Every structure is written in C-alpha cells, then in structure tokens.
Amino acid sequence: MQKGFTIWFTGLSSSGKKTLSSRVHLKLKELGVTNVEVLDGDDARTFLSKGLGVTKEDTDTGVLRLGWVAEILTKHMVPTLVSSVSASRFARDEVRRMIEHTGGKGSFVEVFVDCPVDVCSGRDEKGAYTKARSGELKHLAGVDEPYEEPHRAELHIKTDHVGPEEASALILDHLRSHGLI
Amino acid sequence: MQKGFTIWFTGLSSSGKKTLSSRVHLKLKELGVTNVEVLDGDDARTFLSKGLGVTKEDTDTGVLRLGWVAEILTKHMVPTLVSSVSASRFARDEVRRMIEHTGGKGSFVEVFVDCPVDVCSGRDEKGAYTKARSGELKHLAGVDEPYEEPHRAELHIKTDHVGPEEASALILDHLRSHGLI
C-alpha cells in the first residue's frame, strides 16, 4: 500500500520549486504512483490564504495552513508535493513536526531549492523581483525579508548547477531508499 | 474501491451536527470504511480560519475554504464528514459545485440538521446563544444573522423529533442507495 508523505519544496521565488515539483510528479506517475496531490502556494492562495498579508506572522500562518492540509493528506496515504517559498524556519519546522507526528518519522521530506538571489532575480518568472525593486511589493524573501536557509533539509539542491532531470532523480532516490515508494 | 464523497452537516449552533457526524463516523467504521476524515468548523479554526471575522463575507470564505479541503479529500477517495453552521446558501451551493465537479454527481451530500432555534438555544452547548444575548457575540445564525435553509438538501433531519441513531441510519441508507458505500 502506498505510504503517505509530503515533499516540501522551499526556496526563493523563481528558484525552480515548481519545475522540480512537476518533474517529480511526472516521475511518480511513470512509476504508477497516481494519487499524488500537488499544492502550490500560488494556486492555494485563492481559497487558503485569501485575506492574509505579507507580514511574517501572516506568511507563517499561510505556511502552517498549507502544512495542515498536507498533514491530512499524508494521514490518508496521499503523496503530497508542496511548493512554497516558506522563508521561515520556525514555520517549516512546525510543519515537519505536524506531518511527522501524523505520518511518522521520514514522512516529511524538506527539499531546499537553493539558487542565488541574482540568478532568481534574473529569471523573475512572476515579476516579483521587478515589483520589489519598484517598491510595489514588500517583504520579498531574499530581498527585504530574510530567507532562513534550512539546517536539516533532507535534500539540498543547487538549481543553478543541477538541472531538473538530475535533481528529480535525486529526490526519487531518496524516496526509494527511505521506503516511501 | 472506496468512493470519495463529502457529507456536509449544516444547521444552527447546537442543532446536533457534531453528534450526528460522530454517529455516522462510527457506523462507517463498523462497516469497514476506515479512511474517513472528520472536519469540524471549530477544530479547523486554529489553522484554517485564523484571522477571519464574523461578517458574512468572512464566514463565506471560511466555508469555501473548508469546502476546498473537502474537495481535495473527495478527489482522493476519502469519505469526508464536515460539520459547519454554513448559514449561507450561496457558500454551500458553491461547495456543492466544487465537490461535484471533482467527485461527480452525488458526491456531495447536504444534510440539513434542522432544529428550532429555541431548542438549540436551550441546549447552547458552546454558550453561543448566551454570548449573543449578552451582546458579546454578533452575527450568530438564527439570532441576528439569517440561517438560509437548504432548498435541495439530500437529507432533512429534524433533530428535535428524530434521535441520532435513527438519523444516522437514514444517512447510511442514502449512502448505500446511491452507491457511495
């Protein structure tokens, strides 16, 4: 029977979280793991985070809320892929605690999608950095808000050196070697 | 394979939603349906609705948010029991639309837990009516906010006449006759 687990892709805007999540999703599908849920900070915003602002407290609340949903899904044996900047170490560690409490040790896989801010800013897929420069957007992680790097991520992937194919293979290896697939 | 569906218990505070949901949960367990998720407006509040107020817009947002989680669970074949006053017909119909879109026709089972407001107010399990009388609580459905009765609930249960045992049996009959269990 499929085990429940959550892969949490954390990193700066445009660091490559969603690309990596999509690639892992595809690989899981090819392996016959078809009941995967993909949660994205942006997609979830419509329902989950409506009304929340950009202060640290509000973004922490958004991360914990996404974590709460991932915890329920993990409990019901649904492999869940979450892409979320989640710059706060406290919030990520809280989510880890919640998910491991429900899904057991190893059920939370934190993937640090690491990419220098100038490279991310050059990609600027959502225009976040442009908005931050013009002052339209405040509290952007890596610009005027700290991104607290993970201390104990299960995987640390430098997306300016490792392509999505290689990176997703590393993640699948981790899932296999930890008996999650 | 277990089908996904959501039973949505709607009605005034202290109308008996949670009692009925617990009884249905127990009966499902006895039938071997063990992967049930129980979502409660109050339990979910910590994460899901933190920061939301009591205006119609905010409570609608809370209901839609709970519906969004129920939709994901329904998609993943998890029978989901939701207890929520959800006084707004618009919000309930939106949730119906979302869940039936994902889970197919019949996957949303609206149960109108109907009980006269004076009976509910006499029970007052959470002290909501006492608080409303003293002015401490505003926008309580049935008191100073309308409860919009369902027009097309799959089940209409008058909990001042029908006990939880009989009522839960009616719900199980519905699930059986609609091929949900």
Contact A48 B68 (CB under 8 A): yes
- Asked if pLDDT for residue A51 goes beyond 80, the answer is no
What mean pLDDT comes out for the span A49-68?
85
Nearest to A84, CA basis, from A134, A18, A26: A18
Whether pTM > 0.90 for this model: the answer is yes
- Cβ of residue A37 closer than 8 Å to a chain B Cβ: yes
- At A118-156, the pLDDT tens digits run 999 999 999 999 999 999 988 899 998 999 999 999 999
Query: Which pLDDT score, from 0 to 100, does residue A48 have?
Result: 81
Which of A167-181, B47-61, B130-144 is predicted most confidently? A167-181
Residue of chain A whose alpha carbon sits nearest to that of B43: A68
What mean pLDDT comes out for the span B145-167?
96
ipTM of model over 0.95:
no
Q: How many CB atoms lie within 10 A of CB B176?
A: 11
Contact A51 B51 (CB under 8 A): yes
Cβ contacts of B75 on chain A, cutoff 8 Å: 37
Contact B64 A76 (CB under 8 A): no
Q: Give the pairing type, strands B6-10 and B108-114.
A: parallel
CA gyration radius, chain B: 16
Confidence of residue A50 (pLDDT cuts 50, 70, 90): confident
Question: Which of the two residues, A18 and A55, has the higher pLDDT score?
Answer: A18
Contact A50 B61 (CB under 8 A): yes
DSSP A80-143: EEEE-----HHHHHHHHHHHHHHH-TT-EEEEEEE--HHHHHHH-TTSHHHHHHHTSS---BTT
Dist. CA A11–CA A85, nearest whole Å: 5
How many CB pairs lie under 8 A apart between chains A and B? 43
Contact B64 A47 (CB under 8 A): yes
- Cβ of residue A38 closer than 8 Å to a chain B Cβ: no
Query: Which pLDDT score, from 0 to 100, does residue A169 have?
Result: 98
Q: How many CB atoms lie within 10 A of CB A46?
A: 11
Cβ contacts of A72 on chain B, cutoff 8 Å: 37, 69, 73
Domain ranges, ordered by start, for chain B: 6-177
- At A71-97, the pLDDT tens digits run 999 999 999 999 999 999 999 999 999
- Asked if pLDDT for residue A112 goes beyond 80, the answer is yes
Tokens in use for A125? 């897929």
- Asked if pLDDT for residue B79 goes beyond 80, the answer is yes
Pick the CATH number of B6-177 from 3.40.50.300, 3.40.1080.10, 3.40.50.720, 3.90.79.10: 3.40.50.300
Return the residue in A63, A78, A95, A102 with the most chain B beta carbons within 10 A, the one to mutate for interface testing.
A78
Query: Which pLDDT score, from 0 to 100, does residue B52 have?
Result: 78
Query: Which pLDDT score, from 0 to 100, does residue A157 have?
Result: 98
Annotated catalytic residue within B86, B107, B121, B168: B86
- Cβ of residue B47 closer than 8 Å to a chain A Cβ: yes
